[in-house]
Structure 1
Amino acid sequence: MQAKVSRSRPTESQEVVGRVMDVVNTTREEALRIETDRLTSLSTHPVETVPHSSPLVSSLASVGRKITTALAHATQSETVLVEIAALLGEAYGVQACIISNQGEPYSKSLTAWFAKTHLSANQQGEILANYGMIQAATLERSSLFVSDLNLSEINSISKALPIRGVLSLPTQFQGHINGVISLLTAQAHRWSDLEIETLTQVVDHIAIALTQLTLQRKVAKQSQSQALLREVSIAIQNSVDVPQIQVMVLEGLARTLEIDRAFVLRTKFWDPRHSLRAKSDRVPKARVMIDSEWNRDPIEVDESETPLSQSFWITDCAVCQSAFLSPAKFFAFSNSGKFPSNLETAPIFDAEKMPALLLVPLESKNRLLGFIALQQKEPRAWQPEEVELVELVSAQISTAIIQTETLRQVESLVEERTAQLQQSLELQAKLYEITRKQIEKLREMNQRMDEFLSTLSHELRTPLTSMMLAIRMLQQANLSPDRRQQYLNILEQQCAQETNLINDLLALQELETKQVAFQLQQVDVKELMADLSNSFNQRWSSKGLTLELELPKRLPLLNTDLTSFNRILLELLTNAGKYADPNSMVYLQVVPQPGQQMKFSISNIGSAISEEELPHIFDKFRRCQGMTQNAVPGTGLGLALVKSLVQHLNGTIEATSTEMEGTQSYETCFTITLPQNLEIVEV
């Protein structure tokens, strides 16, 4: 079992830690004597002890060989630590074995093994959450042997950890402590010399495994750093937009350095001539704005309160002032106490929640363009290699910004010089294009009108024919009640089909003529998706279809026209179920997008949509080849209505049909992108 824990020590009671340390400071003989007297007097609270039986001796004697074998055959240090923890836990017969890695100052971790039948999930969580108490005591005293605690000590420690016996030693490699190994029992236990000596002998093997793990992580981070630098360089060479490069950089830094928050700050000077750093003691008038941001745990707040909407004067932030006036290449603060205290710090840095800050200026020829800011929720000593990576990335972003600004200036100059000539040519081209489009539009309208009349005639006549036949049969005097009810059902069904067709045509006309008004309301997307899932799973049960939802843990509310939005989902899900292979899955995925947008994807596995037909599937009365021949019901208005409704909500829709490897089926996917707040888009 692998568990990640925080780097900070647990904020447990000082009284609990003091009692644990009193036990550590007591000599082993005195502790045994005191505990023996206590056990004699407490006949109602027997203490379980482990005799040095032959199986235990044999198990402990072979544990060293097993660990050596595991190290020799291991390819990943994380795997071998899990195996070592299990070997030690089973050999000692304890309830838990925990190995902590102290090799990296910014990435400490725990490898834990628990006996399956002795500790509940809640108890295991308590041990992991409060393990820092045992770890701190072990590192302070270089060892920790707790056995047969007296009653008061048991009660005190039980409040924090469900354990009563501890055997814990630090691991060292080349004279430096790089971890802690701890054996924990749920009952009081006298640790024998054999048990202690055996653990002492395997500590060096564990230290080697921890060192290998640390080296592997360092190599992996170095590879990630090189990959990030290479990716950014390629993006700059390919003239990728600066915002995309910034997002790429922030995500790469977050992944490589394991930080909690990262953002790019851009400075806008009132007078660009004053943008040179360290040229005077006066801070110029400049506005600082967040250009891009990455947050490990985004918090749902109003748009007016998000960091992306915040800005501040550089004179209102002590950190930014220091960065502008100093020629230093970076500014690292390990905790909130290191921040400049002469002036207030901008609220976006939030020193209380994010006490560790690394600020690297974005500059070109001593001209300040902005900053890259990295933050951590816990105090953190920024390593030289981390700072070097951020500096290299900062230089690349600065190059991209200057390159983009220069390109814009050149393009602006060229456009200005050629504006008059282009205006004349564009006017002629527009006239020609307008004429051509009008002719094409007339031809297309004639063709669509013919198709429309043909399809509409078919869609109207077919239900009318069925209704006429049903009416004639109902006129028979000797018709049985069951048959009469059957023909009445046919009449009702065909009449409903005619009504739906007419309603769809009217709805399309209203949408195309912009006669539909918005009825905005807050939509809980998760609740709506759950209702759709229940409804369609019941509707598709006969076909063996299942609707699978893929929703993020946190999903903001959607401010939109609920009626139009619900109709879009119903039409697309109905369409997906109609063309999906039997006994397959239909997927509905929701993903929030940058820029206050939300993406909805509905996909199914079934027959293909050809490349020739794909651009026309949203046309009215347009159906794929073979659908009519295969008797697949439909009027060809559903997707046309969906597209009009999506445009009505200021969104976009696209469709793809991709062949699945190893099968003859295709995955057809409809992707809709809608604004999260339709009211803001309209304004």
Structure 2
Amino acid sequence: MNKPFSPSKCLDEVNLHKQYSVKLMPHQEEPVYQLVNKINKIIANSSTPTRMLQDLAKVIGVAFQVDGCSLVTVSSEVSSETITASWCAEENLELSGAEDEMFSTEQHLDVAVIECASERFTIEDIPTIQKCLAIGRQSLPPTIKAVLAIPTRFGGKNNGVISLIKSQPYVWRESQKQLLKAVESSCAIAFSQVAQAQQIADQNQYLRTCVQHQSLIKRLTIISRTNLEINQMLRLALASTAEALEADRGLLILLKYTDPLFRNRRQQQIPQAKASVVAQWNGTTETPLINQLDISQISFSLRDCGLCQRAFVNSGNPLIIDDTDLKDTLTVNPVFAIEALPVVLLMPLEIQGKVLGFLVLQQAVARDWQATELNIVQMVCAQLSNAIIQTQTLRQVQTLVDERTAQLQRSLEVQARLYEVKRQQTEQLQKLNDLKDEFLSNISDRLRHPLTRISVAIRNLRQMGQLNERQTKYAHMIEQDCTDEIHLINDLLKLQELATHNERPQLETTDLNTRIRDLSATFEAKLADKGISLSLDFPDSPLTVQTERESFDRILQELLTNASKYSEHDTVVHLQVTHQVNQEVDQVIIQVNNIGRGISEEEASYIFDRFRRGKGRWTPGAGLGLALVKSLVQHLNGTITVESTPIEDSSFSTICFTLTLPQFSDKNDS
């Protein structure tokens, strides 16, 4: 950055004109010295560059006794703006203000009236002098008949033009040319200081603009990180942007597409969309039309506004419109208030090829938008587009979450009602089960007592010897039925006791091999009547088991009874006992195999349930034997399973009941 110039250094810089000094006659040295001295004082003491050039124009014009004097800077890389100062003699002021015959930039002076005091003058300098005279035409004589000009050079480049003007034809003297050449170096310094001052002003303006832009970016970042509602955030972002860019008015327009196939449109095709103004900001411009607009009620079709259509087609790039360009636009919606604010900047809000809306900035007077300002607008539009998409996405996700939450809530309510119904049903079933158990207990006691008395009476009659052969046969049948019914009642009571009383088994040491042989001996005669034989398979070493003897005996009796009922004639019931150690746990495995009609998977699923029997089985029984077996096995902390394996080339199967009992020892107790 160039440092601001200091007037105190101007006197040192004046010495630079010595290298451009010319040889003057002795009588000319005093006027030159006086004029240069005046110029240097003005350069050193002037407060502003504009004031300095104006004073120099007057001093030089008076010194040369001309009708007008013009000082104009030449634009360069340092400063593109031209600064001019003009002076006119008093007798020409009224005429200059009264007549409007001054030449314009299109009406160039005749080259014949222009004369240059510098030896470096070329034909290429004529357009520069003509342009400078056109720029500095204010306060100059209305007619120009003679011009003595000299381009000033500083640092090897032209930086200004000094023009002396006569309103009548005039032949410039050599002394005037020498005097003008003498002051050229001082004026070159003045022009250089003006250019530096202008550069400093431009840099200061650029710095202020950068600070404003940085402040805008910071405010937009803070706004984007807040938890504001989307419309409120858009209003704040619009206000910050329009204020930072010094616009007169700002609008934010969003599009809602009504054409579901707009993604497949041709590039130049305008889709069906509704444009709605969601935010508005007004600066210092007071326009009744603008102030009366209610943005909540402003909406229009995209196809009905040529201005928006042009911005839509030009998506990705800013659209700048001034009052002359609007002649080509067919329709403009009244929301833009074009008559009051004819200069418009439209920037599409676009993301992934979809135009979401437009950011609009308007001016009452023409404005030259800088590249940095357009970059800021593009950055703001990108942030707003992301915020809109994120809000829409979050809104969709929130809607989906709300729907799923509502569905889950309804599901939980249904499950709660079902659970309550199930709980009530479970309570009712438990009550019914308790009533059933109570009923079975009462009815079992009531049935057992008369059956017992009947059995006792029959035994007494038989002992008295008063029954003939036929009566004895009937008595035996009645006694057997009473015994079976008493056993059935006892089984029911035992099942009820095992289900309601979770008592620990009374374990005692039992010689397993001996116990099984004794129980098996009682079934040999019954099995022999059906032509069924019994095969026993024991380990070589004796086995002792810790178990409840009564429960174990009943389990084995029921398994052998079941085998005798359902085995085919002339088959073998095989009883095998094995000892297994699995993960330091001792187990006794007893398998009872018989050959009979196969058991289906469906039957196997309920074969241990109460009062359930296999389909098509007409063997007498109540269906409590295997149910009692399962309850007794569970009472002894064991397990029991059944498996039916078909025999090849036969309609029969091998049925295997596997009983597993823990808690045993393979050592004899001493």
Q: Is the TM-score greater than 0.5?
A: no
Q: Which has the larger radius of gyration?
A: 2
- TM-score normalised to the size of structure 1? 0.37
Normalised to the residue count of structure 2, the TM-score between the two structures is 0.38
